[in-house]
Structure 1
Amino acid sequence: MSEYTTVSYEGLKHLAKIVIQPDGTPHVKAENDADAYFCVGYLHAKNRLFQMDFMRRQGLGRLSEVVGPALLESDKFQREIDIARTAEGEWQVLKTFEETRIVQEAYVAGVNAVMEEYRASGQWPLFFQQLGYTPEPWRPQDSIVCNTVLAQLLSVTEIPVAYSLIAEKFGEETLSKLFPMLPPNQQQPFAQGPFEKLPPQPFPISQEQYFREFQAQANASVEELVAATLDASDVDAGVEFLSRVQNIPFLRDKRDRHSNSWVVSAEKSTTGTPLLASDPHLVLSLPAVWYHLHVEAPNFNITGATIPGIPFVIIGRNDHVAWGVTAGQNASNFFYKEHTDDEHPNQYFWDGAWHDFFSTTTEIEVRGQETLSYTYQSSVHGPIVTRNGAPYALTWMYGIPSRGMVAYHEATKSKNMQEFREWIQLAENTPLNWVCADRDNNIGITTVGRLAMFRDGVKPWLPMSGTGVADIIGIAPKSAMPMATNPDTHMLATSNQRQAGADYPYYLGTATNFDPGYRSNRVYELLAAKDKVSPEDFKEMHYDAGDYLASQIVPKMLTTLTATNELEQKALAVLADWNYQMRASDVAPTLWWTFWTTYLRETFDPWMNPAGLPVAEYNASPIDYLNSVLNQNLEHWTLNEPTHEFFTDPTTGVVRTSPELMQASFAKAVSALQEKLGDDVAKWTWGTVHHRIIASMLGEPSLSYGPVPADGDTFTINVAPGMLATFGASYRMVAVLDNDYTGSGIYPGGQSEDPTTPWYTDRIARWATGDYEIFRTFHEAEQNAENTQRLALHPVK
Structure 2
Amino acid sequence: MTIGNDIDDAINQLSNGDMMNLSTIKTFADTAYGLAIATGIIARGLFRSPHPMTTEQRLATLPRIGLPVAAPVTIHWDDHQIPFIEADSDDDLAVALGVVHAHLRLGQIEVMRRLAFGRVAEMIGPLGIEIDRSLRLMDFGRAVPEIIAGLPETTRRWADGFVRGLNHHLAHAPALPHEFSLLGLKPEPWTLTDLFTLTRLSSADISWLVWVRLLRTRARMAPREWRQLWPRLLTGGSPCTFAATTGDIAEQALAASTRSGSNSSAVAANRSITGAPMIASDPHLPLGLPNPWLIAAVKSPSIHAAGLMMPGLPFIALGRNRTIAWGGTSLHAQGSDLFDISRLPPDDFAERTEIIRVRGAGRRALKLRESPLGPVVSDGALLKNPYPTALRWIGHRPSDEIGAMLAVAKAENWEMFRSALGGFAVSGLNMVFAGSEGRIAHCMAAHLPRRPAEYPTDLVLSPEAVKNWDDIVAGRDLPTRIDPPDGFVASANERPPRSDFPLGFFFAPNDRAQRLAVLLGGAGKLATDDLKRLQQDVLAPGVLPLRDLLLHRLPHRKRSAGQHRLIETLRQWDGSYDHRQSGSLAFEILLAETVAALGGSSRIKPYQTVWMAQSLLTEDLLETNPEILAHAIEQALAPASRRLSRLGSWGGVHRIRLQHFLGRLPLLGRRYRLADFPADGGNNTVHKTGHSVSSGRHTVSFGSCARHISDLADLDANQFVLLGGQDGWLGSANFADQVELWRRGGYITVPLRPETARTRFRHKTVLQPASAPITQTPEPPA
Report the TM-score when normalising by structure 1.
0.80
Q: What SS does structure 2 have at the residue aligned with 1:398? A: helix
Partner of 1:189: none
CA contact (8 A) 1:584 1:687 kept: yes
Partner of 2:529: 536
Partner of 2:747: 772
2:295 equivalent among 292, 296, 310: 292
Aligned residue runs from structure 1 range 140-151, under 5 A: 140-151=192-203
Q: Specify the code of the residue in structure 2 equivalent to 1:129.
A: S
Greater shift, 47-56 or 168-177, is seen at: 168-177
Q: Deviations over 1:670-695 (max 9, x none)?
A: 32234546xx47x5211111111122
CA contact (8 A) 2:141 2:196 kept: no
1:131 paired with 2:183, answer yes
1:697 paired with 2:661, answer yes
1:170 paired with 2:224, answer yes
Partner of 2:172: 117
Greater shift, 124-133 or 520-529, is seen at: 124-133
1:436 equivalent among 425, 433, 441: 433
Distance 2:101 2:293 in 1: 10
Q: Displacement of 1:718 after TM fit?
A: 1.2
Partner of 1:715: 684
1:357 equivalent among 313, 335, 349: 349
Distance 2:106 2:250 in 1: 27
Q: Specify the code of the residue in structure 1 equivalent to 2:612.
A: V
Distance 1:529 1:636 in 2: 33
Q: What SS does structure 2 have at the residue aligned with 1:758? A: coil
Q: Displacement of 1:181 after TM fit?
A: 4.8
Distance 1:63 1:735 in 2: 39
Q: Deviations over 1:615-644 (max 9, x none)?
A: 13xxxxxx4544433422444687xxx4x4
Q: Specify the code of the residue in structure 1 equivalent to 2:270.
A: E
Q: Deviations over 1:38-68 (max 9, x none)?
A: 1111111112111111111110011211222
Partner of 1:20: 77
Q: Specify the code of the residue in structure 1 equivalent to 2:156.
A: R
Partner of 1:98: 153
Partner of 1:67: 124
Partner of 1:218: none
Q: Displacement of 1:153 after TM fit?
A: 6.3
CA contact (8 A) 2:293 2:311 kept: yes
Greater shift, 23-32 or 389-398, is seen at: 389-398
Q: Displacement of 1:662 after TM fit?
A: 5.3
Aligned residue pairs total 687
Q: Deviations over 1:183-203 (max 9, x none)?
A: 9xxxxxxxxxxxxxxxxxxxx
CA contact (8 A) 1:455 1:473 kept: no
Greater shift, 280-289 or 254-263, is seen at: 254-263
Partner of 2:611: 628
Q: What SS does structure 2 have at the residue aligned with 1:47? A: helix
Q: Deviations over 1:365-402 (max 9, x none)?
A: 11111311110211112121226642111222223221
Q: What SS does structure 2 have at the residue aligned with 1:295? A: strand
Specify every segment of 5 or more residues in structure 2 that has no aligned partner in the other structure, as ranges.
1-55, 238-244, 380-384, 664-668, 692-697, 773-782
Partner of 2:279: 276
Aligned residue runs from structure 1 range 272-671, under 5 A: 272-340=275-343, 348-349=344-345, 355-386=347-378, 389-454=386-451, 459=456, 461-466=458-463, 472-501=469-498, 504-510=499-505, 513-528=506-521, 531-564=524-557, 565-566=559-560, 567-599=562-594, 605=600, 609=602, 614-616=603-605, 623=606, 625-635=608-618, 642=622, 644=623, 647=624, 656-657=625-626, 660=627, 663-671=630-638
2:718 equivalent among 736, 743, 757: 743
- The 1:455–1:628 alpha-carbon spacing in structure 2 relative to 1, beyond 3 Å, is closer
Q: What SS does structure 1 have at the residue aligned with 2:377? A: strand
Distance 1:275 1:133 in 2: 44
Specify every segment of 5 or more residues in structure 1 that has no aligned partner in the other structure, as ranges.
184-241, 341-347, 617-622, 648-655
Distance 2:251 2:159 in 1: 31
Partner of 1:754: 729
Q: Specify the code of the residue in structure 2 equivalent to 1:50.
A: G
- The 1:72–1:767 alpha-carbon spacing in structure 2 relative to 1, beyond 3 Å, is farther
Q: Deviations over 1:446-480 (max 9, x none)?
A: 11222222468783753112257755222224333
Distance 1:508 1:326 in 2: 15
Greater shift, 391-400 or 778-787, is seen at: 778-787
- The 1:309–1:703 alpha-carbon spacing in structure 2 relative to 1, beyond 3 Å, is same
Partner of 1:210: none
Greater shift, 374-383 or 566-575, is seen at: 566-575
Q: Specify the code of the residue in structure 1 equivalent to 2:325.
A: A
CA contact (8 A) 2:119 2:132 kept: yes
RMSD value over aligned CA atoms? 3.1
Distance 1:500 1:468 in 2: 24
Report the TM-score when normalising by structure 2.
0.81
Q: Specify the code of the residue in structure 1 equivalent to 2:357.
A: E
- The 1:456–1:42 alpha-carbon spacing in structure 2 relative to 1, beyond 3 Å, is closer
CA contact (8 A) 2:210 2:609 kept: no
Distance 1:276 1:533 in 2: 11
Q: Deviations over 1:243-294 (max 9, x none)?
A: 9979744247877922111111112222221111100100122111111111
Q: What SS does structure 2 have at the residue aligned with 1:579? A: coil
Q: What SS does structure 1 have at the residue aligned with 2:769? A: strand
Q: Specify the code of the residue in structure 2 equivalent to 1:359.
A: E
Distance 1:245 1:394 in 2: 20
Partner of 2:34: none
- The 1:174–1:602 alpha-carbon spacing in structure 2 relative to 1, beyond 3 Å, is farther
CA contact (8 A) 2:716 2:753 kept: no
- The 1:665–1:692 alpha-carbon spacing in structure 2 relative to 1, beyond 3 Å, is farther
Distance 1:474 1:454 in 2: 9
Greater shift, 243-252 or 716-725, is seen at: 243-252
CA contact (8 A) 2:72 2:766 kept: no
- The 1:162–1:66 alpha-carbon spacing in structure 2 relative to 1, beyond 3 Å, is closer
CA contact (8 A) 1:126 1:754 kept: yes
Greater shift, 410-419 or 148-157, is seen at: 148-157
Q: Displacement of 1:762 after TM fit?
A: 0.7
Distance 1:456 1:153 in 2: 21
Q: What SS does structure 1 have at the residue aligned with 2:443? A: strand
- The 1:61–1:69 alpha-carbon spacing in structure 2 relative to 1, beyond 3 Å, is same
Q: Displacement of 1:526 after TM fit?
A: 1.5
Q: Displacement of 1:497 after TM fit?
A: 0.7
Distance 1:163 1:132 in 2: 36
- The 1:579–1:98 alpha-carbon spacing in structure 2 relative to 1, beyond 3 Å, is same
Distance 2:256 2:224 in 1: 30
Q: Specify the code of the residue in structure 1 equivalent to 2:202.
A: L
Q: Deviations over 1:414-449 (max 9, x none)?
A: 101221121123110211111111101111111122
CA contact (8 A) 2:76 2:758 kept: no
Distance 1:552 1:276 in 2: 32
CA contact (8 A) 2:202 2:257 kept: no
Q: What SS does structure 1 have at the residue aligned with 2:283? A: strand
Q: Displacement of 1:333 after TM fit?
A: 2.3
Q: Displacement of 1:170 after TM fit?
A: 2.2
- The 1:363–1:265 alpha-carbon spacing in structure 2 relative to 1, beyond 3 Å, is same
- The 1:603–1:482 alpha-carbon spacing in structure 2 relative to 1, beyond 3 Å, is farther
CA contact (8 A) 1:695 1:726 kept: no
CA contact (8 A) 1:458 1:470 kept: no
Q: Displacement of 1:738 after TM fit?
A: 1.4
CA contact (8 A) 1:28 1:778 kept: no
Q: What SS does structure 1 have at the residue aligned with 2:768? A: strand
